[in-house]
Amino acid sequence: MSKFTHIDAAGQPNMVDVSEKDVTVRTARARTIMVLSDEVVKSLKSNGLKTKKGPVFQTAIIAGNMAVKRTSDLIPLCHPLPISKCSLDINFNDKDEVVIECFVKMKGQTGVEMEALTGCSVAALTVYDMVKSFSHDILIKETRLIEKSGGKSDYHAGK
C-alpha cells in the first residue's frame, strides 16, 4: 500500500528528501479546460483575442510561465527547481472551450508535475481575470496531469 510521502513517522508535514534519487530528465504535461459564455467567445474571436487589458492568451502564457517558476513559493513542501523548459499553449477546441496545456522539463531528482499543474491553473485564472468584465459565467472545469516521465515511474492519462 502506498503512503503519503509528505507526512513523517510522527504524522507531521515533511519535505521529501530527494538527495538519494537519481538525477534524470523529468517532464510533465498538464491541461486545463475552461468554458466561457458564448458572448465572451464571440467577443474574443472578433477582437483578435484581445480585451482592454491586452492580449488574453499571450498574457495568460506569460503568467503561466511565471507561476511554473514560483511553484515552490505557492505550494508548501515543493522543492525549488531549476526549470529547463516551460511552454504553454492556449487555444479553442471544437466546442469553443479554452484549452490550456503546460509542458515543463528539467534535469533533477524530483518531478515537475506540480509545476505543470500550477502553470495551467494560473494561466486559467489570468484568462478569467482578463474576460470577467464581459461575464462572470466562466467555468474552470478541469485541471489534470496528462503525462509525466522520468523518475521512478511514467504516467499517461487514461493508461
Q: Which of 8, 17, 38, 129 is catalytic?
A: 129
Q: Helices (DSSP H) in 1-159: which residue ranges?
A: 38-46, 56-69, 71-74, 113-131
Which domain covers residue 57, as residue numbers?
24-150
Task: Report the DSSP beta bridge partners of residue 91.
Answer: 99
We report the CATH number of the domain holding residue 116 as: 3.30.70.640
Measured between alpha carbons, how far is 85 from 79 in angstroms, rounded to an integer? 17
Please name the residues in contact with 132: beta carbons below 8 A apart, sequence gap of 6 or more.
138
How big, in percent rounded to 5, are the helix, strand and coil portions of the chain? 30, 35, 40
pTM reported for the whole predicted model: 0.93
C-alpha cell at 107: 534535469
Q: What is the pLDDT of residues 72-102, one digit of tens each?
A: 999 999 999 999 999 999 999 999 999 999 9
Within-domain flag for 56: yes
106-119 mean pLDDT: 97
Distance CA 111, CA 83 (A): 11
Does 14 map to a domain?
A: no
Domain annotation covers residue 70? yes
pLDDT tens digits, one per residue of 3-13: 778 888 888 88
**Whether residue 22 lies in the annotated active site:** no
115 grid coordinates? 509545476
Q: What is the pLDDT of residues 26-83, one digit of tens each?
A: 999 999 999 999 999 999 999 899 989 999 999 999 999 999 999 999 999 999 999 9
In-domain check, residue 124 = yes
Residue 16 resides in a domain: no
Residue 159 has pLDDT above 90, yes or no: no
Domain count, the chain: 1
Q: Does the residue 18 lie in any domain?
A: no
DSSP assignment letter at 80:
P
The reply to whether 159 falls in a domain is no
